[in-house]
Each structure stands twice: as C-alpha cells, then as structure tokens.
Amino acid sequence: MWAISVGMTGAGDAEGSTAMYTLSSPTAIAVDAACHPRARELLRAISEVFRLTETGVTHLGLQALDADPVATRLAWGMVELVDAAMPSAPGLLAAVGHGGPLVAATLAQARLGDVRDVTRLVVTEAARWPDPPRVGVAGGVVAAASAAAAAGVVASWWTRPELPPQHAEVLARPWGEMRAHLDALALEPDARYGPRGTAVTDLITAVVCGRASPAGLSQVSWRPGTWASSMHAAAWAAHRSGRLREQLLAVVDVTAALVSAHADATQLRAALPALHALAVAAVVGDVLEPEPLAALRRAAVAL
C-alpha cells in the first residue's frame, strides 16, 4: 500500500496507478452512484462536497478537529474492508469470461471503481483544503482533516448499507455538525453550473417533470465511438473554459433528478448516456466545436 499526502496543493499519485473517477469524466462516478442501493443520499453527498465554499471548508475543518482519531482510523479501515467485498464490474465480467453466470441485476449495480477511487476524487478535487495532511483515509492517502471529513461523508454512503452504523456515524459526523451549525455553505443552484447554468436547470426541470424519462433516453443511440469522442471533446472544452467542476455538478445533479423519479438500476444505466450528453452540452454549449455539440444534442429527441 502506498501513501499520498493531500493538502493545499492537491495530491500526487502513486506511480503506475490509474484514477477511475476524475473531474474530467464525471459520467463514470455518476453512473456508479445512480445504481447504488443508497443512490439518492450518495449523489447528494457528492454534489454537496463539490459545492463547498471557502467558509464551508474552514468550518468543516474545525469540526473535524474534534473527531476521535482512533474511531476515525477504525472507521476508514472498516470502509475498505466492506468495500473489498462488494462486486465490481471488471470482476463480474472476468467471472463471466471464465464461465460464471451473468445476472443483469447484479451487473447493473456493480461499480467500475471502489471507495479508494471516490475518496481520491474528493480529497484531490472537491476543494482547496487549507490545513496540512494528517488524517489517513482509504487507499493509503494522508489528507487534510477537512478533506478527510468531506471524503468521509461520501465514503460512508458509498459503503452503506453494509458499513456498520457506528462507523458510518463516525465518518459522517463532522459533515453533519458543520451543516447543522451553518446552513448556507454551498453554492446556490444558479452559481453551480457556470455561465450556462440556466440550460442545466432547464434540463433538470425536464427530468423532474417527466419530459425526460428513462424509456425515452434509453432509445437514443450513436454510431460506435461517437458518444465517447464527443464527451471527450466536451471535457476538453470544459477544461479550457475552466468549467470542469461545473460539468461534474451538472452531470451529478441531473443524474440525481432522474434517480429520484426512477429507481430501476438496469433501466437507469441505459438512460444515463443520453442524459449526460445533454448535461454536458448544456454546460459547454457555447465553447464546444459544432460537430461534437451536434452529436451530444442528438439526445434531445428524448425530451
């Protein structure tokens, strides 16, 4: 196991390791979270930690100072132990390749990444953490206390319902205490998604009102490679325009809206590529080249 320190300037990475969840490809974590048994709570937690203001980060760090270090260390250890027993998509597909059974419902809820991946995403990308690294979290990472507290609330939902309640409470407590004392710490909806925020909120409204349904979204298709290349172009456009965080929030929040209305994991997986195409097009529609933008907006036939 390697160790990484995460403080004010972000994180290094272990040599040869690959991040499954990144700021530039939010659809991966959004799909996995959408098919999670506690999808609503998990998606809300991911969205909130990426909407922390500087004031929120400061108060979260203060709450984290009161956390019991022994209980926290035990809780993080239990998180990794519980997560290691969860089925992964690569593991299930490998088993099928060796003659094992393929169960659609199980595969639909399997995840590409694990708790180490989601923890790394939060501590490296969610905010600029002002305190020095001192708390060990999943994956051998040593993070700022504020970063560990933000990652802790996400990890606690990621590993439920299997994570024992006492450990979930330890990891989620600093976040809950911060939110209880100061309610206005996250960006408001009109500031979450960048200069084209209205287009994103309109898409969320379409999902909430039922105009964008899993049945319709799952019927949208592209030629092989078109969706992936267009999403890649959109990620570069988001990077160049400084909207990677806004892109992630848009993808996570439209996913949460669809999950709130429709709970079947198999149907959700089929619907999310089209929904995420629309979300990304909404965020970077003014800076993305015409060809990939037109390809992503093809999903609008589902509205």
Question: For the chain, what are the domain ranges?
Answer: 4-181, 189-302
- Three-state SS sequence of the chain: CCCEEEECCEECCCCCCCCCCCCCCHHHHHHHHHCCCCHHHHHHHHHHHCCECHHHHHHHHHHHCCCCHHHHHHHHHHHHHHHHCCCEHHHHHHHHHCCCCCCHHHHHHCECCCHHHHHHHHHHHCCCCCCCEEEECHHHEEEEHHHHHHHHHHHHHHCCCCCCHHHHHHHHHHHHHHHHHCCCCECCHHHHCHHHHHHHHHHHHHHHCCCCCHHHHCCCCCCCCHHHHHHHHHHHHHHHCCCHHHHHHHHHHHHHHHHHHCCCHHHHHHHHHHHHHHHHHHHHCCCCCHHHHHHHHHHHHHC
pLDDT value, residue 261: 82
Between CA 158 and CA 122 the distance in angstroms is 13
pLDDT, position 262 = 77
* Residue 85 confidence (pLDDT): 83
How far is Cα 206 from Cα 254, in angstroms, rounded to an integer?
10
pLDDT in tens, the chain (303 residues): 223 333 333 333 433 457 789 999 999 999 999 989 899 999 999 999 999 888 889 999 999 999 999 999 999 999 999 998 876 655 545 554 545 555 555 555 666 789 999 999 999 999 999 999 999 999 999 999 999 999 999 999 999 999 999 999 999 999 999 988 766 566 666 678 999 999 999 999 999 999 999 999 999 999 999 999 999 999 999 999 999 999 999 999 999 999 998 767 678 888 999 999 999 999 999 999 999 999 999 999 998
What's CA 126's distance to the chain center, in Å? Answer: 10
Query: For the whole model, what pTM was predicted?
Result: 0.87
pLDDT of res. 74: 98
| Distance separating alpha carbons of residues 214 and 231, to the nearest angstrom | 20
Predicted pLDDT of residue 278: 98
Q: What is the pLDDT of residues 96-130, one digit of tens each?
A: 454 555 555 555 566 678 999 999 999 999 999 99
State both tokens at 278.
């629309």
